[in-house]
Amino acid sequence: MTNKKVILDVDTGIDDAMAIAYAVAAPGLDLIGVASSYGNLVVRGAAENSLKILELLGHTDIPVFMGESHSMATDHFDRMPVSAHIHGENGIGDVELPAPTRQPEAQSAVDFMIESAHKYGKELVIIPTGALTNVATAIEKDPSIVDLIGDVTLMGGALTVQGNVSPFAEANINQDAEAANTVFTSNLHDTMVGLDVTLRTLLTKKETQQWRDLGTNAGAKFADIVDYYIDVYAELYPHLDGCSLHDPLAVGVAEDPSFVRTLDIDMIVNTDKEKYGRTIGDNTRLDDPNPSVSAAIEVDTDRYLATFMKYLTTLFKNNK
C-alpha cells in the first residue's frame, strides 16, 4: 500500500516538534515537506525550529518552506506573551539546539502545496497544526486544488468543548478565523482534530523518562523540551495531570483515522467580533448528504499513546 504523501504545516513550538517526530517515524506516512506558519513564534522562527528538529532527528532530506507571515485579515503578526510562556522564548522549551546547517527552500509553502496537490492528488494529506492561512491562501491562488487534495487533517477547533483562548475559540483557529472559514466551507475534505479529543491525550514525565533512559542525544533533547511543556501544563492546567498531545494527535489521525470517532458535519467558522474563531455546524447545509468536515469527538487514548511512544522511542533510539 502506498504511503500517504504528507505536508506538515507547523508553527513549530513544542507539540509541533513532537508532530514532526511522529510524521518522520510513522511507517504509513511519507513526509515530503514542512511548511512554516506563525503562531507559537513568528514564521521565520518556526522555520528555523523545524530545521533544527529535523536535523536532530537525522532527516535533513526533508525540505522546509516559508509560509505566510500573518493572517488574511491583518498585515502583521505579533507573538503573544503567553506563547513564549507555554513554549519558551525560542519555541522549544528554551532548549538549545545547534543552528541548522541549511536554509528554508526558495519556493514558498503555498506554491509547494499547490504543486504537490497537482502532483499527488488524493494521495496528498496536508496537516496544519497552526493557523490555516497557508492552506486558505493556496485555495485562493489555485481553487482547483480543493478537488485534488485527499484530506486536510488539522489540529484546531472545538465543537463539543469550550475553546482555550475564549469560551468559543481554539488558539489555531483564532489566529485566522477568516482563513479557517475559507478552508471549512470549501470542497476540501477536512478532518478536524480539535480540543474535543486532544485534551484527552496526555503525556507525563514517566514517558519522557523513557526517552532519557535511551542514552541518546535525540532522546535527551526531546525529554528536555517536553518536560518544559509538562511543567507549564502543571502550572496552567493542573487538572490535566500531563501535557496534551495536540499536534501529534493530528498526525496520528492522518495515518490511522481509526484512532478517533468522528461526526460528519458541514461547518463554518465565526468571524464576528463576539464569537471570533468559533467552529460550529452550518445551519444552511444540514441536509447535505456529503458533509465536508469530519470532526473528531472521541479518541482511543490508550492505543494512540502506545503508538506515539512506540514511534518516538524507536526514532530517538536510532538517532544517537
Q: What is the pTM of this model?
A: 0.97
Q: 238 or 28: which carries more pLDDT confidence?
A: 28
User: Domain segments of the chain: what residues?
Assistant: 4-317
- In the numeric block, the cell 479529543 is attached to 197
Higher-scoring residue by pLDDT: 239, 244: 244
Nearest to 128 by CA among 151, 146, 161, 144: 151
Per-residue confidence at 240, pLDDT binned at 50, 70, 90?
confident
CATH 3.90.245.10 is right for the domain spanning 4-317: yes
Mean pLDDT of 172-181: 98
Mean pLDDT of 99-108: 97
Write the pLDDT tens digit of every residue in 110-135.
999 999 999 999 999 999 999 999 99
Judge contact between 37 and 130, C-beta under 8 A: yes
Q: What is the pLDDT of residue 241?
A: 84
pLDDT of residue 3: 86
